[in-house]
Chain A
Amino acid sequence: MVVVEVSTGKRLKALVLPVEANDFKSLNKSMYFFNWKEERGYEIYKLIIVGQLEILGLISFEKIPFEWRYHIRLLSASKKNVGKQKQYDYVIGNLLAHVGKIAVADFGEMACISLKPKTAIIDHYRKKYKMQVTGSTLSLEVPELINLINEYDHDEK
């Protein structure tokens, strides 16, 4: 996976890793949206640049096996990585692709990842990540899910 430094266009190798107990010390409200400690009972992953410690974004999710689905609970880039002044691009796409990989590994062609965002940003996710809209739920399924994985899951600089 790679992220792009917005100011220079430089592409840097990135990794998605499970959040560890020590990470919660740095997940404070001045740097990150949401209270991630509330998600301790769920799977939480972080995006970092290889060789660095700073967490660029976070995602928590739950597995719903009888629906072949992973539902994303919280998803956010760090405060430094949103809006016009953001440092790195591709943070959210990499996090979504990582959950997509977990879903495809478990469920193959039946795999699905879902989100239930606020109405105002549904259109953004639908356009940017080719998500399906069903009621108030956004979902990514095969084949679009595979395309997302192929788009983000590589180390090409």
Chain B
Amino acid sequence: MMKNRSQNKMDFEFGIDSRYSSKEERDGDAIILMEARLKRMKNLSKEEIIRAKLIQLKIKMEECLSNDHKNQSQSFSQFLAHYVDSMYSRRNDFARDLGVSPVILSQTINGHREPSKEFILRLMIHSEKVYQSVTKFNHEIWYQIFLNEKLRETMEAEDSWKSELENEVKMPEFIL
């Protein structure tokens, strides 16, 4: 019914009513479309798949930064894992390319070790070069993600550190 009501609007070049009019129409189209898509997906090159995964990572990282730090669901280590696994079938190969030990990489990806400043700087250099042929990429984003995460962790633990430190922080007289 909705479709009929706005049928006349579809004559405009930039007005599209694309709503399905029935479940049958929707299901029928879905089957045909999926069959065609699966065939096309088989023809995707390795480079096209890597490119898509890297764009996916960039979008997710930007989304993470644009959200309130309290609502971030993904961490630096998860983004790092996405980055590595998009391009390398073995994480050790990435560790070699980055010039860090496989153990350090593994511990960082698994959240058992905080990335050092040098680790992040190496990652920034690596990703800047990788993304050159993919899309515009602000390599500082790795540092921003890391710092945002530290801020989030700090504020989430406020109840514990505040009660511990509050008595040790003195105020000037005019505040009292």
Residues of A bordering B, CB below 8 Å: 33-35, 38, 57, 64, 67, 69, 71-77, 81-83, 91-92, 101, 104-105, 108-112, 114-118, 120-121, 124, 132, 134-137, 139, 141-143, 146, 149-150, 154
Contact = CB atoms under 8 A, between A and B. Distances in A.
A139 B6 contact: no
Q: Is the interface of B mostly helix, strand, loop or mixed?
A: helix
B16 A109 contact: no
Among the interface residues A76, A105, A124, which one has the most CB atoms of the partner chain B within 10 A?
A: A105
What range describes how many residues of B lie at the interface?
A: 35 or more
A-B interface, 7 closest residue pairs, ranked by CB to CB distance from nearest: A109-B52, A33-B15, A134-B36, A108-B56, A105-B59, A76-B15, A77-B14
A71 B66 CA distance: 25
Nearest to A110: B41
Given A38-B2, A134-B32, A143 B37 contact: no
A64 B135 CA distance: 27
Interface stretch (B43-51, B106-114, B142-150, B163-171): B43-51
A71 B10 CA distance: 17
A34 B6 contact: yes
B44 A109 contact: yes
Given A64-B30, A109-B48, A121-B13, A116 B20 contact: yes
B63 interface: yes
A34 B15 contact: yes
Given A108-B52, A142-B52, A150-B135, A82 B18 contact: no
A82 B13 contact: yes
A82 B56 contact: no
Interface of B: 2, 5-6, 9-20, 29-30, 32-34, 36-37, 40-41, 44, 48-49, 51-53, 55-56, 59-60, 63, 135-136
A132 B40 contact: yes
25 contacts: A33-B9, A34-B15, A67-B34, A72-B18, A73-B17, A74-B18, A76-B14, A76-B15, A82-B14, A82-B15, A83-B13, A101-B59, A105-B63, A108-B53, A109-B48, A109-B49, A110-B41, A114-B33, A116-B18, A116-B20, A120-B11, A142-B48, A142-B52, A143-B44, A143-B52
